Amino acid sequence: MASPLEYYVNFVRTQSSAGNFRELVAYLIDSVELVTKNGNILDNVMETLDIQQHSLGYLFVLSAKFNDSSNVDDTENVLRSVREFISSCDAEQVRFAPQVYYELCHHLTTALVKNKQHIIQGIHVLVLALEKIRLHSNQLTPIHADLCQLCLCAKVFNPAIRLLDCDIATIATTDDNYADTKYFLLYYYYGGMIYTAVKNYERALYFFEVAVSTPALAMSHIMLESYKKYILVSLILHGKVLPIPKYSSQVITRFMKPLSHAYHDLSSAYNTSSPDEVRNVVNKFRDTFQRDTNMGLVKQVVASLYKKNIQRLTKTFLTLSLADVASRVQLSGPAEAETYILNMIKSGEIFATINQKDGMVVFKDDPQEYNDQDVFEMVQQQIGLVMGLNKQILKMDEEIMLNPVFVKKSFGNQEDDGIGCNSKVYSR
């Protein structure tokens, strides 16, 4: 009589050959305990399965193997095993068990981050894993968050930015609502950190805003950390803290704001336009900012205040000496004032020239008249993006209107309001 594991292998082979993947997944889920109990011989089981032909069976065995924390400590083995599976597995099969597929990627990410080894190779594996499982480039999966985390650890941002630049239209979900929410929030939190690192503050602010304004009945630590960074990036970008969208949860005002008082104090000091006030707040809450690993952003907030004050001078004066600029903005001297002004000219934040002989700064108006071919092409591109977005919204609206669940609920609500069965449900 065949042992339970032998029956397991034979069942995987038979059902895979017959293409009965849904029935196979149900059996594999019921057999998780069996596989876990035989953790010491899982390598032998995997040797009897072909990765491409028996992808689902191989996936469940590999995932069970790495559920054992002792197996995850061997980073090189984890990377090699996952890379081999991701490279050869059948995408159609693994889509029948996306949650287990995602967990395998989570195991890989955890091992690489914990041991700080082979992170660059791990990024390449996750990019391939993502391409295999997602249905289109605008679909968000839990693997997105893993990939962003590895890119942050390695400080290699291009692989993540290629994904972050794609607007999300659909979200891949699993039966685990907690995990879906966690990795959704982590994607926008890590994404905001990556955009902040490359100084794309506008996009970073949007990502932190999404994390903060996600509907919630309880406070998430991810949302709290996103809120702190939202305040700092908003100060850097706009010189003030933009209000959170009105549709955000009351959790923000009830819990997040009291837990972020150091950041609100920094915002209040920033609004005075006094560098001394800002420095006093920074020194007072230095331990808090360092514990939150936000000290680098706080320093950028301080630097942005000097820039904002220099920009105010351009609206009042046509010429000023570097010494006067340093005095009015409270910089250490003409040399530091010159450095700030040159950097601002280079980044297009102000338009000015510096006379090195007499140390005078001449502020100028924007020389761009916005009437050339480049501007026209930019406007055309933006119009194209808006038209594409409009098409996407109309498509999503149609899908919702034709969704049986939505139709049933709408029809039921109208019956509750006293509308007869012969009445038209929709105006369309």
Pair of tokens at residue 54: 């028996």
CA gap 168, 4 in Å, rounded: 44
**SS3 track for 310-321:** HHHHHCCCCEEE
Please state the rounded mean pLDDT for residues 82-106.
Answer: 93
Q: Is 424 exposed, middle or buried (0-12, 13-18, 19+ CB in 10 A)?
A: exposed
CB 147 within 8 A of CB 159: yes
Q: Which of 214, 163, 172 is nearest to 191 (CA)?
A: 163
pLDDT at 187 over 90: yes
What digits encode the pLDDT tens for the residues 155-184? 999 999 999 999 888 899 888 888 999 999
The mean pLDDT of the chain is 88
Residue 2 pLDDT class (50, 70, 90 cuts): low
Residue 269 pLDDT class (50, 70, 90 cuts): very high
pLDDT at 210 over 50: yes
- Domain residue ranges in the chain: 233-316
Please, what is the Cα angle at 372 between 366 and 373, to 5 degrees?
A: 140
Q: What is the dihedral of CA 61, 63, 66, 67, to 10 degrees?
A: -110
Total-model pTM: 0.86
Residue 226's H or E segment, with its range, is: helix 221-238
Cα-based distances in Å from 107 to 103, 111, 192: 6, 6, 23
Residue 392 pLDDT class (50, 70, 90 cuts): confident
| Phi and psi, residue 303, nearest 5° | -65, -35
CB 243 within 8 A of CB 207: no
